[in-house]
Amino acid sequence: MHVHELISMIEATASPRWSASWDRGGVQVAAGKQRVGKLAVGLDPAPELIDQALAWGADFILVHHPLALKPELPARQNGYHHVLGALLRHDAWLYAAHTSLDVQPRGPVRWLAGELGLKNVSVLEETGRRLGRWFRVLGPEGRIEQIAQELEGRPGVEVYALGARVLEVVAAPGSDFEVYGAISGVEDATLRVVSHELDLPKEVLGFGFVGDMPDPTPWEVFYEVLKRLLDAPPKALAGIVPENVSRVACCPGSGASLLGRVAKVGAQVYVTGDLKYHDAQAARELGYLVVDVGHFALEERMMRVFSEELRRKLTHGAVEVAFFPGIDFLSSPS
């Protein structure tokens, strides 16, 4: 697969358009090779993970966290220097899908909502709204028919043939990449494409989510379910332990900045990471329980889910996909 096709597939789920202004996601290290045969996926561009992926033969490494939020010269021997050197020696790509992935409500960031069976799920902090898109494609009869067949049955896409040479397509929010992919797959310079955003439907994007449990669940039961899903007990609890849990909020990674929003949406439990002393104090005053699972656990599983999603899309075998487990650098002592 050409590297730009793979990047387009990644960005179909995690579009850089929606990244936070302070983020430094996207291509971290470019390589000379343009074909990808092996894709490695992991959480952090740590030296250990990069070395394992390159030893496996990865041409392209996809991670969540950027190599550096403030890129610098490799002027001293450290992890940053090691990773840059290893990637350049092996002529391998490094790409980070960071906040571009965090804000996608239908993406792998919400894996916990699916596991808990949450209903009425919505975004905690809105950062943007993605709209549907209308397309009109004009071209030779055979090419238009080929595009229509390619798009038929694709999720979120409606296809309308207006004669043999004109096709109209309506794509739901986040499904426009299906149309772009079908069009780019047809090599014909005579194709003409016109498109514009629709007023409706809209999809809210943003950090964190909140939803309702299928049934009110005793705290002790909820806690055991959470431990099982995370393969480890939470690192800390702060606030007021509820008798029953009926509404749950979550923000993978560091979610202390959303404490006030959680109080407004009526959640009894907020699952996040990197809780500090004064954050814990605030949670108690706000009247709910914060479950600090650390920065690692939710996002590690998120990237595993993303790797599985990409593997399904690449079932034709052109690219082999492997997930490389990371290291919880703040793991509790045993």
275 shares a domain with 186: no
Within a domain: 330: no
Rounded Cα distance, 5 and 34, in Å = 10
Within a domain: 167: yes
Rounded Cα distance, 310 and 303, in Å = 10
* Contact criterion met (CB below 8 Å) for 124 and 261: yes
Rounded Cα distance, 105 and 202, in Å = 12
Pairing, β 289-292 against β 236-239: antiparallel
Rounded Cα distance, 113 and 211, in Å = 7
Q: What is the pLDDT of residues 237-287, one digit of tens each?
A: 999 999 999 999 999 999 999 999 999 999 999 999 999 999 999 999 999
Residue 316 pLDDT greater than 90, yes or no: no
Q: What is the CATH number of the domain that holds 77?
A: 3.40.1390.30
* Contact criterion met (CB below 8 Å) for 169 and 151: yes
Residue 120: left if φ>0, alpha if ψ -120 to 50, beta else—which one?
left
Pairing, β 119-138 against β 157-161: unpaired
Residue 187 pLDDT greater than 80, yes or no: no
Q: What is the pLDDT of residues 85-105, one digit of tens each?
A: 999 999 999 999 999 999 999
257 shares a domain with 134: no
List Cβ neighbours of 310 (8 Å cut-off, separation of 6 or more): 9, 10, 39, 41, 62, 321
What sign for the dihedral angle of Cα 304, 307, 313, 317? negative
Encoded tokens for 128: 């943007």
174 shares a domain with 259: no
Per the model's pLDDT, the better-predicted residue between 212 and 332 turns out to be: 212
235 shares a domain with 172: no
Peptide bond into 201 cis (omega under 30): yes
191 shares a domain with 149: yes
Q: What is the pLDDT of residues 286-315, one digit of tens each?
A: 999 999 999 999 999 999 999 999 999 887
Q: What is the CATH number of the domain that holds 146?
A: 3.30.70.250
Within a domain: 328: no
Across the chain, how many H-helices and E-strands are there? 11, 13
168 shares a domain with 29: no
227 shares a domain with 269: yes
Rounded Cα distance, 83 and 323, in Å = 18
Rounded Cα distance, 102 and 251, in Å = 9
119 shares a domain with 214: yes
Q: What pLDDT does residue 315 have?
A: 76
Structural domain span for residue 231: 108-127+205-296
191 shares a domain with 49: no
Q: What is the pLDDT of residues 43-72, one digit of tens each?
A: 999 999 999 999 999 999 999 999 999 888
Please, which pLDDT band fits residue 181 given cuts at 50, 70 and 90? confident
3-class SS at 72?
coil
Encoded tokens for 31: 């390589």
